[in-house]
Structure 1
Amino acid sequence: MMSDTFSSLSKMIEQVGKDKGIDKQIVIDAVVQGMLVAARRKYGTYRDIEAQYNEETGEVELFEFKEVVADEDFIDEEVELKLTDALELDPDAQVDDTIGVRLETGELGRIAAQMAKQIITQRVRDAEREIIFEEFDQRKGDIASGIARRVERRSIVVDLGRIEAYIPPREQIPGEQYRPGDRIQGFLSDVRQTTRGPQIIMSRASEGYLMKLFEMEVPEIYDGIVEIVAAAREPGQRAKIAVRTNDNAVDPVGACVGMKGSRVQNIVQELRGEKIDIVLWDEDPARFVANGLAPAEISKVFVDEASKEMEVVVPDHQLSLAIGKRGQNVRLAAKLTGWKLDILSDSNAAARTAESIFNLMLVPGMTETMAQNIFQSGFGSFQALAEAQVDDVMMIPGYDDPDKAGSLIQEAKDLLDSYVSEGREIPTAPQAAETKPVNDGDAKSAADQRLKDELAQLSQANEAAAVAEEKDSATEERVSE
């Protein structure tokens, strides 16, 4: 009976290899190891027993090896073999040789046979898990589809055939609901090897899923003619992708949109109505940001490369469009481009410019043109000049001389010290009277006029101060005479 049991173990090698897709040698090694463990359990671990697979008979054979000793020195039959007995097995046997004696597998017993089966089953299962892990690890970053089976702790369990995958709550598109039996598609974002076997994480909310969908839908992307440079998503609501091409004959945005929007609409349907903006990538960060904020129109962009920040100025009536619903448009644009963005309207930007020019003209001898040059070089106040380095100030037109740049910094420091020592507040530009909402052109004109008025007032104040100084000087001269 036991012989039949172990015979069936050897016969299953071919079948298991075919059914599980496991290398035949792995199954053989598992069977051999199982037989060896069973034999040692039966006969003891101190006996020298080996198991071998016989390719001709298709069975596992057990051999016990014993040391040949002289008949008069024979003590332990478990590990020793008399020379006379050894000569019967092998006529060339000599003392100190080792001879293998075949053991019958039918003598192992039921418990040992069950143990062998358990070991073989475990080894085969481990090999199968390793094969599945390697298969899906190579597929990581691809799209897979399966059948939704159930929900565990808010995670959707997806049957992929040979294994189950999980879509955690954070990787699901908000508002989506699936019932058992529904077909579901997702992005293979992670494959982990755990003690319970491979664990596969799928995502429907990642940027990788969006990019892969475009690769499947747009042949130009699959062929490498069009490249997706970056993507940003707020799953279920809105997404942006940036594309480019090295082929001037191809319109990358048009290729992604497709005839009458057919390509992008297929993706929108898969993402349950998520709106997708396709923008043109540009190596110039300012242009890229302007494209990323589409459909809003951009008036001007101020770039701070050191902190990787941009100040984007838009027409007054485009401000809400640039920011988007609850800041969605600017958030996606910032994520897409990798820059921190600050959105301003034309009127607000003009008012801030006027305030900065007014502040800079507090420096003695500062003209409006000089103040504008300094402001356009990135210094919005004389306080900023007071803390600046000479090399930075030398970048301002007209201040490329180290002495001149140092003198400007010192004047700004002296002015700041005078306000601090006297306990005076630094003056701000007079606020213009409130007016009714105007269009973009009127807003710019009003801001320019307000700036001129403020500068005129400041100029008058400076002239009055100069006249007062002349009078004081004249009085001092008369007194001295």
Structure 2
Amino acid sequence: MAITSANQLELLQTAEAVAREKMIDPALVIEAMEESLARAAKSRYGAEMDIRVAIDRKTGRATFTRVRTVVEDDELENYQAEFTVDQARQYMDDPKVGDTFVEEVPPVEMGRIAAQSAKQVILQKVREAERDRQYEEFKDRAGTIINGQVKREEYGNVIVDVGTGEAILRRNEKIGREAYRPNDRIRCYIKDVRREARGPQIFLSRTAPEFMAELFKMEVPEIYDGIIEIKAVARDPGSRAKIAVISYDGSIDPVGACVGMRGSRVQAVVNELQGEKIDIIPWNEDQPTFLVNALQPAEVSKVVLDEEAGKIEVVVPDEQLSLAIGRRGQNVRLASQLTGLDIDIMTEAEESERRQAEFAERTKLFMDTLDLDEFFAQLLVSEGFANLEEVAYVELDELLVIDGVDAATAEELQARARDYLEAQNAKALENARALGVEDSLIAFEGLTPQMIEALAEDGVKSLEDFATCADWELAGGWTTVDGERTKDDGSLEKFGITLEQAQDMVMTARILLGWVDPADLVTEEEADEDDATEEAEA
């Protein structure tokens, strides 16, 4: 068929109809038509020709043009779409490289195959425009709740109609053994929106902790208004959850506001989550206090926090142990997720037994190294001395407060401790030299002979080796993989080296080797201070 005056207006009418149906810009449909007509024309005039089509937005008239570009003589490759300066002089005045010559060509007769190809181009362009519109619509809605209608279920995954597109609720994002039938209404959390080759993919979730937080925001006006803030959420989907809240208004109880009159607010969330039991906990900046709250309903006797390791020890009465751990470890697991800490729960009896073991171990250390009787060694431990270094280098007055210790005895104790430590240091240095440690590392300030020996056993034998170490390789640390925290052992961890100390030591080594200019470090510190000041002022 030819594009004649009889059907010119039909192009515009078709474009308008398709645009309305697909809710896209009519100009995109017309551009698709132009491209499809140009493709059909190329099949008639030749694929190497640069044929372009322009449809008048008012009259619908389609204009077919052939475009040729002026190129250098040695760059001429496509004789149908390019020509040299000399060739162009036949058609143009004073042609230059890069100029284009446009001439109108007769409209083409579209056969059945060309018409089908044109239709495919238009459909493809319309689909792409539809996908772009869907992506633009949903990309900013990630992190919100959406209501949809179940269309079908495929291999356990639920396909949800969300109005202008489809979204997917994967089976691992469903609560428990939820089952849905076509046309069921469903409420989900938009977890992610991705632009993919097959179109925008909208991923939904009903198990995400954020889903519960958004539900509370819908049910509790104080959260929506910012008076109450949800600080943390931990869930065992379909079974139990813990949510930590804080109020910025002293007259409003955050827990009571979330529970609502006769539990109406929290019950609305529970019903949406298939009966999931929810513990609402007051948030506290003090981590031990927060943890005590998080382990409710169990009672806690004592909390010991190791901030560096991100680990916390909790002591509970013997009869409270099962309640603190919960069925299948659920209570302590949720409390750990809520606080971001590894929690080690023990009974008062177990804690007492451990303290006794530590007391006996330290007593034996002092007996063996200082040649003391058991009673005297126990006196040292009772006064808080944990190692030989504390005995050797503590102020003499701190030893004199021990019953039965006079100045002569205190001096003798310190002399024995120092002699033993010096002997150990000499032995450690001897072992380190035997392992091939260089003098540059031995002379490095801040490393004890025992530390140098430990480094040598791990293959660090020179100052260059030490300068290439990462801080966690020296001080140890923790790595979280798939939600599980694993311990990374450090070469100097047993000596109590912190990450900050390890960073300082490694940086000092790099400065000594000339790898780092101290002036650059000062500039970076000043920049960090300026950034911190700007943030505080903001």
Q: 1:279 aligns with which of 281, 292, 304?
A: 281
**Corresponding residue for 1:347?**
349
Given that 2:190 and 2:204 are in contact with CA atoms closer than 8 Å, whether structure 1 keeps it comes out as: yes
Task: Count residues with an aligned counterpart.
Answer: 379
**Corresponding residue for 1:101?**
104
State the TM-score, normalizing by the size of structure 2.
0.63
Given that 2:291 and 2:335 are in contact with CA atoms closer than 8 Å, whether structure 1 keeps it comes out as: yes
The secondary structure found in structure 1 opposite 2:65 is strand
**Corresponding residue for 1:303?**
305
> In the TM superposition, what is the alpha-carbon distance from 1:30 to its structure 2 partner?
1.5
> In the TM superposition, what is the alpha-carbon distance from 1:144 to its structure 2 partner?
1.3
Which whole-Å CA distance do the structure 2 matches of 1:407 and 1:120 have between them? 89
The secondary structure found in structure 2 opposite 1:361 is helix
Q: 1:140 to 1:44 in 2, by over 3 A?
A: same
CA RMSD across the alignment: 3.6
State the TM-score, normalizing by the size of structure 1.
0.70
Given that 2:141 and 2:190 are in contact with CA atoms closer than 8 Å, whether structure 1 keeps it comes out as: yes
Which whole-Å CA distance do the structure 2 matches of 1:266 and 1:216 have between them? 10
Q: 1:223 to 1:303 in 2, by over 3 A?
A: same
**Corresponding residue for 1:205?**
207
Q: 2:315 aligns with which of 313, 316, 321?
A: 313
Please tell me the residue identity of whatever aligns with 2:296: A
Q: 1:31 aligns with which of 22, 30, 33?
A: 33
**Corresponding residue for 2:188?**
186
Given that 1:62 and 1:102 are in contact with CA atoms closer than 8 Å, whether structure 2 keeps it comes out as: yes
1:269 maps to 2:279: no
Given that 2:63 and 2:104 are in contact with CA atoms closer than 8 Å, whether structure 1 keeps it comes out as: no
Post-superposition CA distance 1:52-71 (Å, at most 9, x none): 1212303332234699xxxx
- Flag structure 2 segments of 5+ consecutive residues without an equivalent: 70-79, 82-90, 400-412, 428-538
**Corresponding residue for 2:52?**
50
Post-superposition CA distance 1:32-65 (Å, at most 9, x none): 1111111111111344532112123033322346
Q: 1:390 to 1:49 in 2, by over 3 A?
A: farther
**Corresponding residue for 1:240?**
242
> In the TM superposition, what is the alpha-carbon distance from 1:334 to its structure 2 partner?
0.6
The secondary structure found in structure 2 opposite 1:42 is helix
- Flag structure 1 segments of 5+ consecutive residues without an equivalent: 68-77, 80-91, 380-384, 418-481
Q: 1:263 to 1:39 in 2, by over 3 A?
A: same
Q: Which moved more, 1:220-229 or 1:242-251?
A: 242-251
Given that 1:42 and 1:112 are in contact with CA atoms closer than 8 Å, whether structure 2 keeps it comes out as: no
> In the TM superposition, what is the alpha-carbon distance from 1:306 to its structure 2 partner?
1.8
Which whole-Å CA distance do the structure 2 matches of 1:346 and 1:358 have between them? 18
Post-superposition CA distance 1:236-286 (Å, at most 9, x none): 110011111322222211121111111111000001110001111111111
Given that 2:36 and 2:122 are in contact with CA atoms closer than 8 Å, whether structure 1 keeps it comes out as: yes
**Corresponding residue for 1:145?**
147
**Corresponding residue for 2:229?**
227
> In the TM superposition, what is the alpha-carbon distance from 1:221 to its structure 2 partner?
1.2
Which whole-Å CA distance do the structure 2 matches of 1:7 and 1:164 have between them? 34
**Corresponding residue for 1:127?**
129
**Corresponding residue for 1:359?**
361
> In the TM superposition, what is the alpha-carbon distance from 1:191 to its structure 2 partner?
1.6
Q: 1:316 to 1:31 in 2, by over 3 A?
A: same
The secondary structure found in structure 2 opposite 1:276 is strand
Please tell me the residue identity of whatever aligns with 1:214: F
Q: 1:407 aligns with which of 397, 414, 417?
A: 417
Q: Which moved more, 1:219-228 or 1:326-335?
A: 219-228
Identity across matched positions, percent: 43
Given that 2:303 and 2:314 are in contact with CA atoms closer than 8 Å, whether structure 1 keeps it comes out as: yes
**Corresponding residue for 1:462?**
none
Which whole-Å CA distance do the structure 2 matches of 1:359 and 1:267 have between them? 53
Which whole-Å CA distance do the structure 2 matches of 1:231 and 1:244 have between them? 12
**Corresponding residue for 1:112?**
114
Please tell me the residue identity of whatever aligns with 2:188: G
Which whole-Å CA distance do the structure 1 matches of 2:207 and 2:416 have between them? 54
Given that 1:62 and 1:103 are in contact with CA atoms closer than 8 Å, whether structure 2 keeps it comes out as: yes
Q: 1:59 aligns with which of 58, 61, 68?
A: 61
Given that 1:146 and 1:160 are in contact with CA atoms closer than 8 Å, whether structure 2 keeps it comes out as: yes
Which whole-Å CA distance do the structure 2 matches of 1:310 and 1:46 have between them? 73
Given that 1:2 and 1:113 are in contact with CA atoms closer than 8 Å, whether structure 2 keeps it comes out as: no
Q: 1:95 to 1:10 in 2, by over 3 A?
A: farther
Q: 1:279 to 1:34 in 2, by over 3 A?
A: same
1:371 maps to 2:374: no
Structure showing greater radius of gyration is 1
Q: 1:21 aligns with which of 20, 23, 29?
A: 23
Please tell me the residue identity of whatever aligns with 1:42: R
Given that 2:150 and 2:183 are in contact with CA atoms closer than 8 Å, whether structure 1 keeps it comes out as: yes
> In the TM superposition, what is the alpha-carbon distance from 1:407 to its structure 2 partner?
3.5
Given that 1:5 and 1:113 are in contact with CA atoms closer than 8 Å, whether structure 2 keeps it comes out as: no
Given that 2:8 and 2:60 are in contact with CA atoms closer than 8 Å, whether structure 1 keeps it comes out as: no
> In the TM superposition, what is the alpha-carbon distance from 1:31 to its structure 2 partner?
1.6
Please tell me the residue identity of whatever aligns with 2:122: I
The secondary structure found in structure 2 opposite 1:135 is helix
Post-superposition CA distance 1:98-144 (Å, at most 9, x none): 56335235x23332222222111110110111110121111111111
Stretches of 4+ aligned residues off by more than 6 angstroms: 92-97, 403-406
Q: 1:406 to 1:304 in 2, by over 3 A?
A: farther
Given that 1:6 and 1:113 are in contact with CA atoms closer than 8 Å, whether structure 2 keeps it comes out as: no
Please tell me the residue identity of whatever aligns with 1:254: G
The secondary structure found in structure 1 opposite 2:53 is strand
> In the TM superposition, what is the alpha-carbon distance from 1:159 to its structure 2 partner?
1.8
Q: 1:199 to 1:48 in 2, by over 3 A?
A: closer
> In the TM superposition, what is the alpha-carbon distance from 1:359 to its structure 2 partner?
3.0
Which whole-Å CA distance do the structure 2 matches of 1:256 and 1:66 have between them? 71
